[in-house]
Structure 1
Amino acid sequence: MKTKAAVMWRNAGNFEITELELDPPKEGEVLVRYDYAGLCHSDEHLRHGDISVEPPIVGGHEGAGVVEEVGPGVTQIKPGDHFITSWMPHCGRCRFCLMGKSNICDNGAFLMQGTMLDGTQRLHARGQGLGGVDLLGTFSQWNVIPQSSVVVVERDVPLDVVAIAACGVPTGWGSAVYAADTRPGDTTVVYGVGGIGINAVQGASHAGAEMVVAVDPVAFKREMALKLGATHAFATAVEAHEFVWSETRGQGADACIVTVSLVEPEVVTDAFALVRKGGTVVVTALANPATKLQIPSLELTLYEKRVVGSLFGSGAPHSDIKKIVKLYQNGDLRLDELITNRYPLEEVNQGYDDLLAGRNIRGVLTIDH
């Protein structure tokens, strides 16, 4: 069958809308129709070459839609199911899955490889095969993806809203709830309140933090943070640091969560300086592979400070995505407010231009068929 998709044909540059040929699903795979896709910053990194991928590749890893067909061996998913994507196609058998850490499953080796789990490809154009970002390629009308990337949801769940629950929401929420281990009464500082950081704010508030301090240079993002759980918001790290030191009488923050667009050493160094003895710095944002962090080793030892990475919210994606949906349905987590603008598939590059210009918390593609 044919599908229209936003393709990254080179190592950097704009996505190009291209008609592709799509093969049927093989063993353990499903054919899905994407109705909505979130514009996560991770795919924007492809446009600027910050993340290395094997082009050509279909963009997008946040998606929601309907299952159209299932391949051999698929028994827990059926045609007509509504779903949200999970970008880690966990195997359920490796050491990390068995530890309850399916977010760092060994199948992560395939995420940017540009193939399916069997090493082959289902998409074809211009005489060559194509992969999809995180084996998903949600910037496409249809695609074939692994069954373990499908999180089935009830049919009354609004897919246009919960599409962003595929990555940004559980990643930010889990960064605060799991990675930072936020406790009632804590002081939590979040650096960068875009699509991930705003959910770290919501997660910290949900977990009972007494002070949630948002740091972002964009005024409307600070305003949104104050509406969704932040107690205070500042344009610069210097302002936030002065406030936290004063309010905590020199103890510092319990946790600092780094969710900026692209990690630079300075932001992690600042966060490390602000956390208290025994405090935690969570680095969730991506960085250029050549970036090296700089922290004072003596302070690390004497004050028992911790610096931890967090991928996909440091939890179990399938169960956490379902939990996020339930929290949303119960009114305990707000998602509608996070979607700033909606775009047709053909305007994917405009959506990312708006993100870079500070006009979006989260943009969503509406995909016509």
Structure 2
Amino acid sequence: MTSLSIQALVHSPTDGLAVHELDLRAPRGSEVRVKVMASGVCHSDLHLIDGDWPSGERLVPGHEAAGVVESVGEGVADLAVGDHVVLSWFPPCHRCAACKRGEQWLCTGNMCNEHRLPDGSTALSQDGAEVYPFIGVGALAEYVVVPETAAVKVPDALPFTIGALIGCSVATGVGAVLNTAQVRPGQAAAVIGCGGVGQATIAGLVLAGAHPIVAIDLAADRLELARAVGATHAVAGNAPDLAAQIAAAAPDGLDYVFEAIGRVETINQALDLVNPGGAVVLEGLTSLDARVPLDAYTLAAEGKRLLGCNYGSSIASRDFPALAERYLAGDLPLDVLVGSEISLAGAIDAFEDMRHARGGRAVVVFD
């Protein structure tokens, strides 16, 4: 196997975003090289681009992707060339305490936060200088090299655009409902923030049998989409009578509020809205320096719970195929979540749209 010359979107701390030609080495050991067929434009990438998660390195953004295995390292056991896969940005190390107790979403042994492959390396370079994959994936590129544990086989019938969404926003949103919160039929829930993760959360609440389901957002088009996904009520987040509208929608109050933005203000809003004994689920990732002032007395006296949710408490090898099957069975209306299919260069404008909460989920589609 040889290295490939690929087109990739690169973020530089000094030069911003641009498409570059990079070298991608062959897979080795337990790595696979995947031809990316679709890659979502996700808000986590925007955290990098906007400096909320600063890095002094040149990085290829993108982590929500699906594709086809193009080649495999000599140690790969469970994947073969031609397999359709969804990429996971949080592959388990299988060695740390979290992995040993079956909580792979809390793995402390992977290298994703260092933007490295598990052995600490990168497979990307340009003119001999290393370029790094954002959170270990770097999927806004024609090909990626990832560990075998980061590529999960899915049915060939699954559209690549849907597979890409399953790899992050859908796994996070649906998983927050089914895995983290374990919502029961008939429980009332609200979702603050109806971007990709928020819409997937609504889809998960429908699966769980929650009722009512209240969508809260500033953008009218996102509220309309939320209703299409399954929200029973939609409320503008800046409505002066917000509390009254929610009370009318959920007369017995809210058992769960899912915060899918990652803002201090909306986290506190969620805590105000949830019932005594209820839970706020934090899905949206904040900037690294965000701190939330809490009304600790009320939190304790009313028995409210604050649940952290990384990656929907998902085990990729279990949940990605299950989500694919639910989509193929018609139980998850994910097609409506794909707002636009764009080129690699078009991702630059898509990030600008995301910055201003315009449009639905943009997905880069490769030939």
Name the TM-score, length of structure 2 as normaliser: 0.94
* CA distance in structure 1 between the partners assigned to 2:150 and 2:324 by the alignment: 16
Q: Which residue identity is paired with 1:345?
A: L
Deviations 1:37-61 (A, max 9, x none): 0111111111111112351111100
Aligned to 1:5: 8
Deviation at 1:236, TM superposition (A): 1.7
> Superposition pairs for residues 1-369 of structure 1, below 5 Å?
1-10=4-13, 14-108=16-110, 110-236=111-237, 239-246=241-248, 248-249=250-251, 252-260=253-261, 263-368=262-367
Aligned residues: 363
Deviation at 1:177, TM superposition (A): 2.1
* CA distance in structure 2 between the partners assigned to 1:54 and 1:87 by the alignment: 20
- After superposition, the Cα gap between the structure-2 partners of 1:160 and 1:271, relative to the gap in structure 1 and judged at 3 Å, is closer
* CA distance in structure 2 between the partners assigned to 1:67 and 1:29 by the alignment: 11
Deviation at 1:241, TM superposition (A): 2.4
Aligned to 2:346, the other structure's residue is in SS state: helix
Deviation at 1:360, TM superposition (A): 2.5
Q: Which residue identity is paired with 2:167?
A: A
Q: Which residue identity is paired with 1:183?
A: R
* CA distance in structure 1 between the partners assigned to 2:101 and 2:345 by the alignment: 42
Deviation at 1:246, TM superposition (A): 4.4
Once the two structures are aligned, what percentage of the paired residues are identical? Answer: 32
* CA distance in structure 1 between the partners assigned to 2:182 and 2:157 by the alignment: 32
Deviation at 1:350, TM superposition (A): 1.0
Deviations 1:211-230 (A, max 9, x none): 00000010011011111110
Deviations 1:309-332 (A, max 9, x none): 101101212211111111100000
Question: What value does the CA root-mean-square deviation take over the aligned residues?
Answer: 1.6
Deviation at 1:14, TM superposition (A): 3.6
* CA distance in structure 1 between the partners assigned to 2:243 and 2:311 by the alignment: 27
Q: Quick check: 1:54–1:113 contact (8 Å CA) kept in 2?
A: no
* CA distance in structure 1 between the partners assigned to 2:50 and 2:337 by the alignment: 24
* CA distance in structure 2 between the partners assigned to 1:348 and 1:336 by the alignment: 20
When structure 1 is superposed on structure 2, of 64-73 and 355-364 the one drifting more is 355-364
Structure 2 stretches lacking a partner, 5+ long? none
When structure 1 is superposed on structure 2, of 240-249 and 93-102 the one drifting more is 240-249
* CA distance in structure 1 between the partners assigned to 2:250 and 2:119 by the alignment: 53
Q: Which residue identity is paired with 1:146?
A: P
Aligned to 2:345, the other structure's residue is in SS state: helix
Name the TM-score, length of structure 1 as normaliser: 0.94
* CA distance in structure 2 between the partners assigned to 1:122 and 1:29 by the alignment: 10
Q: Quick check: 2:155–2:321 contact (8 Å CA) kept in 1?
A: no
